[in-house]
Amino acid sequence: MKRSRFLAGILGAAMLSFVLAQTTYAGFIQGTRVKTEHPSPFQISTSPDGNTLFVVNQSGHSVTFVDAKANKVIGEVAVEVQPEYAACTPDGKTLYVCNAESDSVSVVDIPSKSVKKTIKVGDWPCSVKVTTDGKRAYVCCSGNLWNKIDIIDTSANEKVGEIDLPDYGPRDISISPDGKQAAAILDTTGEINRSVVFIDLNTNKVTEHRRIRHSANLRAVTYSPDGRYVLITEEKPKNWLPVCIAENGEVFTNNVVVVETRPGGKIAQMPLDELNNYDGNPYGIAIDKQGKYVYIGVRGMHRVTILDFEKIRRIVDGNTQDQLDLLADDLNLVNSYLVKRVPVGLGPSSVALSPDGKFCYAANYFSSNVSVIRTPQD
């Protein structure tokens, strides 16, 4: 399980072209097939220097390494069962991989492409983030009736504590740009109002617990570069039928939630849907370093949706909470901030931006490859 393996890959010949402010294209990196016929790449991230992509293969039980310059697979590391997330340390030397079904985190040495240690954590670890100083890794465990975030000391590679949460199901966590705060989304099954909590990283205590009205299926969270907002992908039920009926009846709308990080700040559920054009099952999310464009992997529609965050921010800042609640059901609103919907592979469950912001990468869960999108450059 722990030995490294090498797998060569090629850049797919298929290329799609689109017109944006400048040329936008989507290509495919093939060769993410590693241990199984359908490895199901679930999450993608980049090294701090942008030279390497890390693709977490949920069904393949491994992490694929991709040379981002050549767009070729350069190696693979076998981890434990059903990995769902990986995070790199700021020095680019270590990768922490959450193995959901094994209740563990694999510590991967990047230069040697090998697992140097496995750390036991809570039930169903599904997300991990490393602090800006590289000293701690925070692990979300979303298992049944689990309400804790585990803390790993990265120098000793040991679990050193837990953060107690006010509700169950921590799904994802993001660390603020200044490194002082974290935001975690709680996707508690059965709750009408899922929630976001803010955590003081000096004390590892929750400072605020905020409900997101009529929300479901919170999937990913990230801070804006200025730290004033967190953005969350969400599905919003239109009625409260049992979930299986609601899903089959397609009565969800799909949103990006914009939460002001100041205490008691506004919560805006910004629609991604238009009339007769729906962004079903929004999953991964990323925002560029300038805070201009937002990228969302729309798993149900096999595309990446690009939004103008400056226009979104003006809507949030210029309306009261009551007005924002009404706008959450306006299926014409997305046209005021939609930049482009870019077709990619099947089931993009995660997106990541290159450090220079020139490329967006999407991990395609069902087609077992990675899409490469040239981003808008103003």
Q: In what order do the strands lie in the sheet with 11-19?
A: 11-19, 23-29, 369-374, 359-364, 348-353
Helices (H) and strands (E) in the chain, counts: 3, 30
- 33, pLDDT greater than 90: no
Whether 201 shows a pLDDT value over 80: the answer reads yes
Give percent above pLDDT 90 in the chain: 73
The pLDDT value given to residue 278 = 87
Domains and CATH numbers, the chain: 4-374 (2.130.10.10)
The least confident of 160-164, 245-249, 251-255 is: 245-249
Specify the pLDDT at position 2: 33
Q: Are 238 and 251 in contact (CB under 8 A)?
A: yes
Q: Where residue 38 falls among pLDDT bands split at 50, 70, 90? A: low
Within 10 Å of residue 330's Cβ, how many Cβ atoms?
A: 12
Between these two residues, 168 and 158, which has the higher pLDDT value? 158
Q: Going edge to edge, which strands form the sheet with 338-343?
A: 282-287, 293-298, 303-308, 338-343
Q: How many CA atoms lie within 13 A of 135 on its CB side?
A: 5
Please state, in angstroms and as integers, the Cα–Cα distance from residue 286 to each residue in 44, 137, 139, 220, 262, following that order.
11, 20, 19, 9, 21
CA–CA separation, 32 and 366 (whole Å): 12
Q: Write the pLDDT tens digit of every residue in 93-145.
A: 999 999 999 999 999 999 999 999 999 999 999 999 999 999 999 999 998 78
pLDDT at residue 372 above 50? yes
Two tokens, residue 269: 């559920």
The more confidently predicted of residues 159 and 249 is 159
Q: Is 0.75 topped by the overall pTM?
A: yes
Average pLDDT estimate for 16-43: 45
**Per-residue pLDDT, 17:** 23
CB within 8 A of 354, min separation 6: which ones?
46, 50, 68, 360, 361
* Residues linked to residue 46 through DSSP beta bridges, in sequence order: 53
Predicted confidence at residue 73, as pLDDT, reads 86
d(CA 367, CA 378): 31
207-227: per-residue pLDDT in tens? 999 999 888 899 999 999 999
Q: How far apart are alpha carbons 24 and 44 in whole angstroms?
A: 20
User: DSSP label at 177?
Assistant: T
Mean pLDDT score across all residues of the chain:
86
Kindly tell me if the per-residue pLDDT of 263 is higher than 80.
Answer: yes
Between these two residues, 364 and 145, which has the higher pLDDT value? Answer: 364
Strand ranges in 239-324 using DSSP code E only, listed in sequence order: 252-260, 267-271, 282-287, 293-298, 303-308
Q: Is there a contact between 67 and 108 (Cβ–Cβ < 8 Å)?
A: no
Cβ neighbors of 19 (< 8 A, separation 6 or more) are none
Question: What is the distance between the terminal CA atoms of the chain, rounded to a whole angstrom?
Answer: 46
The pLDDT of 152-163, averaged and rounded, is 98
DSSP 8-state class, residue 376 = P
Strands (E) located in 131-169: 136-141, 148-153, 158-164
Rounded Cα–Cα distance for residues 120 and 101 (Å): 11
pLDDT score of 156: 97
Task: Report residue 188's pLDDT band, with 50, 70 and 90 as the boundaries.
Answer: confident
Cβ-Cβ contacts under 8 Å for 247 (sequence gap 6 or more): none
pLDDT at 102: 97
Residue 374 to residues 186, 362, 364: CA-CA distances in angstroms? 33, 12, 17
pLDDT band at 5 (very low <50, low <70, confident <90, very high): very low
195: three-class secondary structure by DSSP: strand
Residue scoring higher pLDDT (152 or 21)? 152
Contact between 163 and 199 (Cβ < 8 Å): yes
What pLDDT score does 369 carry?
Answer: 87
| pLDDT tens, position by position, 277-334 | 889 899 999 999 999 999 999 999 999 999 999 999 999 999 999 999 999 989 899 9
